[in-house]
Structure 1
Amino acid sequence: MLERAATSPNLTDRGRIPALLRVLTELVGWITLPWGLFHYSVVWSILAVIVLIALPGVFATPGDKEQIPVPVHGTVTIAFMLLELGGALWGAILVLPVWAVVLVAVLAAITVVTELPRWRWLLTAPARPHSQREPKTTA
Structure 2
Amino acid sequence: MDRPADRLASVFRFAVELVAWVAVPWALAGYSIPLAVLSTVLLIGLPTFFATPGDKRHVVVAVPGFVTIGLVLLQVVAAVAAAWTVWHAVAAAVVTVLAVVTVVLELPRWRWLLSRAPRPH
TM-score scaled by length of structure 1: 0.81
Name which one, 1 or 2, has greater alpha-carbon Rg: 1
Deviations 1:17-64 (A, max 9, x none): 000000001100001101111111123212311221101100000000
> Kindly, what percent of the aligned residue pairs are identical?
44
1:99 counterpart letter in structure 2:
V
Deviations 1:42-94 (A, max 9, x none): 23212311221101100000000011111110010000000000111112112
Within 5 Å, which residues of 2 pair with 1:70-89? 70-89=61-80
Structure 2 residue corresponding to 1:16, chosen from 7, 10, 13 = 7
Structure 2 residue corresponding to 1:91, chosen from 82, 97, 100 = 82
Question: 1:115: which partner in 2?
Answer: 106
Taking only aligned residues, the RMSD between alpha carbons, in angstroms, comes to: 1.3
Aligned residues: 119
Q: Is the 8 A contact 1:62 1:126 kept in 2?
A: no
Q: Where does the alignment leave 5 or more consecutive residues of structure 1 unmatched?
A: 128-135
Q: What is the CA distance between 1:118 and its match in structure 2?
A: 0.3
Q: Is the 8 A contact 1:92 1:100 kept in 2?
A: yes
Q: Is the 8 A contact 1:33 1:94 kept in 2?
A: no
Within 5 Å, which residues of 2 pair with 1:3-82? 4-5=1-2, 8-9=3-4, 14-82=5-73
Q: Where does the alignment leave 5 or more consecutive residues of structure 2 unmatched?
A: none
1:69 counterpart letter in structure 2:
V
**Stretches (4+) displaced over 2 A:** none
TM-score scaled by length of structure 2: 0.92
Mapped partners of 1:49, 1:86: distance in 2: 14
Mapped partners of 2:94, 2:115: distance in 1: 32
1:79 counterpart letter in structure 2:
G
